[in-house]
Structure 1
Amino acid sequence: MDRLDVKLWALAEKGQIVPDRSLLKTPEQIAEIRKSADLNTAVLDHVAAHIKAGMSTAQIDKLVYDFTTEHGGIPAPLGYEGFPKSVCTSINNVVCHGIPSENEILVEGDIINVDVSTILNGYYSDASRMFKIGNVSERAERIVRVTQECVERGLKAAKPWGHLGDIAYAINTHAKKNGYSVVEEIGGHGIGLEFHEEPFVSYVTPKGSEMVLVPGMMFTIEPMINEGTPEFYVDEDNGWTVYTDDDGLSAQVEYMVLVKEKSVEVLTK
């Protein structure tokens, strides 16, 4: 048993939730995952350079598919549990998992989350950004801004040997302070060797709770911030798209992070 095993065992004996060693990435794995993350960031940059009013979400899907495959990658969402497209495009009152369509056209004033996930040489990465289409309302601008602030505060609260609950507390506190709610049932996840790994990352749990942040852990920080109630429903026709229950706006920003010995690093955002 090495020093890390001893430390994890001691924390578990005290009732702390600790990650299985299989969730801690090796230096060799981290090096490969970084390459995937770099491509994921480049895909989002490519979308940022082209997204505009008048384009369909299907065109965004084509941008993502073409750029990813031309650079040796595979869009992780494509075919994942039956998902039919290469990217999630979630507009205005869509919380997440919006399916690109030729019939869905971006218009001035829309806010849209573009969620990109990439497989490169068998390694996974994941991040999303909010885009404001042209001039948006003050209401739309505010929820996008506060959501970005929530993620940054969550990142700042993430410390080696701290807890996932520290991130959640920082995010939930800032959202509520600004009059928003945080979706409870959908959260972040571990990533790297698979698309979705343990742990589930909640954004509504108390400070000091949940899994200990151990060096080598890799996961997403991706709260979904709603304008009104945190309640939602899933489209019955496609089984994927999640809408706010009260038709209010929703925003999401996703960072993928690595816990290191003395810091937490953003790999893609």
Structure 2
Amino acid sequence: MKKYRGVFLKNSSEISLMREANLIVYEVLDALEAAVEPGVPTMEFEKIAVDICKKRKVKPAFLGYGGFPFTLCCSVNEEVVHGFPSSERKLVEGDIVSFDMGVIYQGFYGDSARTVAVGTIEPEVQKLLDVTRESLMKGIEKAVPGNTLFDISAAVQGHVQSHGFDVVRRFVGHGIGRRLHEKPEVPNFVPKGLPDIPLKPGMVLAIEPMVTMGSPDVEILSDQWTAVTKDRSLSGHFEHSVALTDNGPYILSRP
């Protein structure tokens, strides 16, 4: 594994292992999405994630990370990220629920997220989900050698803001590999006064727009983890782990 400006560049064997990790994450997210319906306690999703990790004999990436007490981040409506599954919280028609999931497979991490509608949602809320997902793909399109990191950031921010939404600044994407969070940070906006870096083959980035219908400002609840929008507007979250290759971006967390 080579290093470039503090960023670990992965070889083809390492990327193959990360591909396997991310396909397991994809399996978990698909199972979670299939289980979404009104009346389901969000703790049920934690059980599904735990069961698949046991079945696939992989370690959950988030459980115990920095003290996080669950396998799954499960965030509902105004919860942006790091929400706790709960036996008391039941999904309601019209909710949206974000699942963020990671696993460790043979020493390498996989990480991906998606936001799912609960039953029928309002057209503007569906637009929020569509734009967030589209902004992720816009960012991935720019994840090619020869571009710079902030080309990804600009693509995400531009698409989101052109549709009247905004991106959270407090949380950003990240490099990923033998550690869950590696360099570089991948902001979903173009930061002022920070150095940009060229993109190189072998980089693996977890690109993850978090998009709000209102203010991009967030606050942390009393559990010290759950991040919510300050104005309690709804938030969407989509994420893929992406390897940069000479042939373009390789989305590891999608079949």
Question: Same-fold call, TM > 0.5?
Answer: yes
What TM-score do you get using the length of structure 2 for normalisation? Answer: 0.94
Match in the other structure for 1:14: none
Farther off after superposition, 209-218 or 226-235: 209-218
| CA root-mean-square deviation | 1.8
Farther off after superposition, 259-268 or 45-54: 45-54
Q: Does 1:56 align with 2:41?
A: yes
How far apart in 2 are the matches of 1:30 and 1:152? 20
Structure 2 spans left out of the alignment, 5+ residues: none
What TM-score do you get using the length of structure 1 for normalisation? Answer: 0.89
How far apart in 1 are the matches of 2:163 and 2:34? 30
Question: What is the CA deviation profile of residues 50-90 of structure 1, one whole-angstrom value per residue up to 9, with x for unaligned ones?
Answer: 22211111100000011111111111111111101101011
Bigger Cα Rg = 1
How far apart in 2 are the matches of 1:165 and 1:97? 25
Asked if the contact 2:38–2:90 (Cα under 8 Å) also holds between the matched residues in 1, the reply is: yes
Q: Does 1:42 align with 2:27?
A: yes
Query: Structure 1 residue runs of 4+, over 6 Å off?
Result: none
What is the 5 A alignment of 1:63-74?
63-74=48-59
Instruction: Give SS of 2:155's match.
Output: helix
Match in the other structure for 2:94: 109
In structure 2, give the amino acid aligned to 1:213. L
In structure 2, give the amino acid aligned to 1:232. V
How far apart in 2 are the matches of 1:253 and 1:30? 21
User: How many residue pairs align between the two structures?
Assistant: 252
Match in the other structure for 1:19: 5
How far apart in 2 are the matches of 1:40 and 1:124? 10
Q: Does 1:231 align with 2:232?
A: no
Asked if the contact 1:187–1:203 (Cα under 8 Å) also holds between the matched residues in 2, the reply is: yes
How far apart in 1 are the matches of 2:215 and 2:17? 40
How far apart in 1 are the matches of 2:196 and 2:82? 26
How far apart in 2 are the matches of 1:83 and 1:95? 16
* 216, 219, 227: which one aligns with 1:242: 227
Q: Percent identity?
A: 34
Match in the other structure for 1:220: 206
Match in the other structure for 2:141: 156
